[in-house]
Amino acid sequence: MNTPVTRPVVSGPALVDPFGRHVTYLRVSVTDRCDFRCVYCMAEDMTFLPKKDLLTLEELERVCAAFIGRGVRKIRLTGGEPLVRRNVMSLIENLGRHVKAGALEELTLTTNGSQLARYATELVDHGVRRINVSVDTLDEQKFRAITRWGDLKKVKDGIAAAQKAGLAIKINAVALKGVNDDEIPEMIRWAHGEGMDLTLIETMPLGDIDGDRTEQYLPLSVLRAQLMDQFTFADIPYKTGGPARYVEVKETGGRLGFITPLTHNFCESCNRVRLTCTGTLFMCLGQEDAADLRAPLRASDDNDLLNTAIDEAISRKPKGHDFIIDRRHNKPALSRHMSVTGG
């Protein structure tokens, strides 16, 4: 594994936005590339960023260390698919040292599961204890249709390897009208039967895709009402640091989460910012305003310029997003694909 460049972690004041919210959660997209082409996320013929535009893994670790020094307590690695980036385990190992030192409460990642069988044991060795795996259907043919390139058996094998290695797993499923909505009860029983939480997510209007997103959109308020014909839900205060609101399902004993950026946004308690693989910091998933951290990062060997840029960015964090499903023009709320910002 690569040895990180030794730099002191900058200690500074906590990151507090204009609305008094403490920023304690950093999501880092380590690559915009993915080995799937999910229909709600990407076009099949995607143009990815030139590799020369990406931050090096050492630079990503340095930015993360600066945020940790300012009070960030949780880091989630995303993509694209984070495990397809070459040598990504060196970054995970280096960030894991912050967990082992007590400076970082949790290092986790969101993955499509395709590489889990290969990396599960290493993830645990480097301090990862919990991961999210995206699975939108249990039907192999439908899985191939949704992901275009994915293999459900390979993903399930990866999940089994991750559980054997000791990782706690939460399944993420995007609710798609007319695609997988009839499967959700089965997915609840499957996930809970395997000892995994399940979180349902509304499709988000990010990026042009090869289809009509308005036809896919299923309000989770509607889905929840439908599920209550079969299940009994009890609201619980369980939190993972993200935007999901959880219920306990009486019939299975498991937890079910709802992420509802459109029907019930979660902005009032937002403690998150997102760093792209090019060093762009988005203060809100649903706004285009962003800050360039790559230039100050590369302009100096110390972190003074970087911290100034971070402070300026946090001072512009908006109160909330403006997500809508545009049924008249079938246009995404933002042209930026989810894979650029991080899923």
Distance CA 8, CA 24 (A): 20
pTM of the entire predicted model: 0.86
pLDDT at 137: 95
What is the per-residue burial (b if ≥16 Cβ within 10 Å, else e) of 283-321? bbbbbeebbebbebbeeeeebeebbebbeebbeebbeeb
Structure tokens at 320: 């909330």
Terminal Cα-to-Cα distance of the chain (whole angstroms): 26
Distance CA 278, CA 48 (A): 12
pLDDT at 10: 47
Distance CA 78, CA 273 (A): 13
Residue with tokens 């910091």: 281
pLDDT at 11: 64
pLDDT at 46: 78
Digitized pLDDT (tens) for each residue of the chain, 343 residues in all = 555 544 445 468 999 999 999 999 999 999 998 988 878 777 777 778 888 889 999 999 999 999 999 999 999 999 999 999 999 999 999 999 999 999 999 999 999 999 999 999 999 999 999 999 999 999 999 999 989 888 999 999 999 999 999 999 999 999 988 999 999 999 999 999 999 999 999 886 544 445 555 677 888 999 999 999 999 999 999 988 778 899 999 999 999 999 986 544 557 778 999 999 999 999 987 677 899 999 999 999 999 999 999 999 999 998 875 545 444 444 444 444 444 555 5
Whether the link from the prior residue into 80 is cis, omega within 30° of 0, is yes
pLDDT at 191: 98
Distance CA 40, CA 190 (A): 23
Dihedral angle, C-alpha 274, 278, 279, 281, nearest 10 ° = -30
Structure tokens at 19: 């609305």
pLDDT at 205: 55
Q: Which of 89, 148, 95, 151 is nearest to 123 (CA)?
A: 89
pLDDT at 262: 58
Q: Which domains does the chain have, with CATH numbers?
A: 25-341 (3.20.20.70)
Q: Which parts of 166-193 fold into alpha helices (H)?
A: 184-193
Structure tokens at 28: 């880092």
Helices (H) and strands (E) in the chain, counts: 11, 12
Q: Which of 43, 267, 77, 41 is nearest to 174 (CA)?
A: 41
Q: Provide the pairing of β-strand 272-275 with 245-249.
A: unpaired
